[in-house]
Structure 1
Amino acid sequence: MKRLIDVLASGLGLLILSPLLLGLALLVLVYHGRPVFFGQVRPGLKGKPFKMLKFRTMRDVFDSSGNPLPDSERITKFGAFLRATSLDELPELWNVLKGEMSLVGPRPLLMEYLELYTPEQARRHEVRPGVTGWAQINGRNAISWEEKFKLDVWYVDNRSLWLDIKILFMTVKKVFVREGISADGHVTKEKFKGSSK
């Protein structure tokens, strides 16, 4: 049932939102140049790699040595708007349609984190990663990594259709009030370096 809902909702969403997606793609092209999409390999179900798509929110700007400048200097005002409204996440509906993601589940993080998880934290990969999730409506980037992973594992153990519906409705509310978009002193969140426990 969950997969059926994912297919129907993502397919319908891509169809209905196609004018918005096209408009955003053109604006990203104007403000950030090519490519319009930011694709990055992330771990999916059971840790299987897939390429997650998002709208680009940063410019390609480098220092004199050819190294990318910090995120805070590369993100544009339009990019910050995309992140604040979560519009940069809309291309992930394509990942949902393909079966690489679900509408609801733990957010797909970086491949390099896989070897840093405790066995309990790694359980977040027992389900497909989501466009939104339990951790996103309970703090997003404003909570610690340990708190985020506990919420992810709680979702794995308690997932249900009704919980997914609640998370989707709460996500819409969070987007409007723009809570937890970034951690203190960071554009999004500092990198996970492993748990101390």
Structure 2
Amino acid sequence: MIKRIFDFTAAVVGLVVLSPMFLAIAAWIKLDSPGPVFFRQPRVGKNGEMFDIVKFRTMYDDAHDALLTVGHDRRITKAGRFLRRHKLDEFPQLFNVVAGTMSLVGPRPEVPRYVDCYPADVREVVLSVAPGITDWASIYYKEENSLLSRSSNPEQAYLETILPAKLKYNLRYVHERSFWNDVRIIFTTLATLVR
């Protein structure tokens, strides 16, 4: 209950404080390429329930089919490249937090295709909590695109190397979760973004 109150309050305050930046980013996206400001994609949430994650659109409007983006993907717009580099495309997920489909901190939600690759016992634990905007895996794998760009088969590298490592961090989060651990992850994330 405390976590939900904190999430809701912080998300609402964040949306109010960041609203001028949201408007500026929205204008930039519209000027940079045709299409909507926001991008929505189905993700797997708590207890396996599906929801639409909300992000700022960073790719050309007809180029969102692939699940992974690697290196200097030509489908990414000029504005999108900047937004991705500084993780600004993730900020609209505050709307998901307000709606209750996400938390500020928790395992990052995956698309169904990758959730199907979770071992059954791991899936049960990871999906027992609300997915989050940030977590330890997001911090330690912030350069995921660069790592995948070095592989001749990025999806295989993701499934065999990165996803299992992320799941270990997810399990650690679920087993160690607490309000103060969430606060620690939030401040570590902010420090990482500033650096």
- Matched residues, percent identical? 41
Q: CA offset at residue 61 of structure 1?
A: 5.6
Match in the other structure for 2:188: 170
- TM-score normalised by length of structure 2: 0.82
Task: Give the structure with the larger helix fraction.
Answer: 2
Q: Name the SS for the 2:74 alignment partner.
A: helix
Match in the other structure for 1:59: 60
Size of the alignment, in residue pairs?
172
Match in the other structure for 1:134: 136
Distance between the aligned counterparts of 2:62 and 2:13, measured in 1? 36
Match of residue 165, structure 2, among 123, 147, 170: 147
The one-character-per-residue Cα deviations of 1:50-71 (angstroms, maximum 9, x if unpaired) are 0110001111367xxxx98x95
Distance between the aligned counterparts of 2:4 and 2:89, measured in 1? 23
Distance between the aligned counterparts of 1:134 and 1:107, measured in 2? 9
Q: CA offset at residue 145 of structure 1?
A: 1.3
The one-character-per-residue Cα deviations of 1:140-159 (angstroms, maximum 9, x if unpaired) are 42572111111011101110
Q: Is the 8 A contact 1:32 1:56 kept in 2?
A: no
**Pairs within 5 Å for 1:1-197:** 1-60=2-61, 71=69, 72-122=73-123, 123-140=125-142, 141=144, 142=147, 144-177=162-195
- TM-score normalised by length of structure 1: 0.81
What is the Cα-based RMSD across aligned positions, in Å?
1.9
Structure 2 gaps, min length 5: 148-160
> Following superposition, which runs of at least 4 residues in structure 1 exceed 4 angstroms of deviation?
none
Counterpart residue identity of residue 22, structure 1: L
Q: CA offset at residue 175 of structure 1?
A: 1.5
Q: Name the SS for the 2:116 alignment partner.
A: helix
Q: Is the 8 A contact 1:105 1:133 kept in 2?
A: yes
Counterpart residue identity of residue 150, structure 1: K
Q: Is the 8 A contact 2:32 2:78 kept in 1?
A: no
Distance between the aligned counterparts of 1:12 and 1:61, measured in 2? 33
Structure 1 gaps, min length 5: 178-197
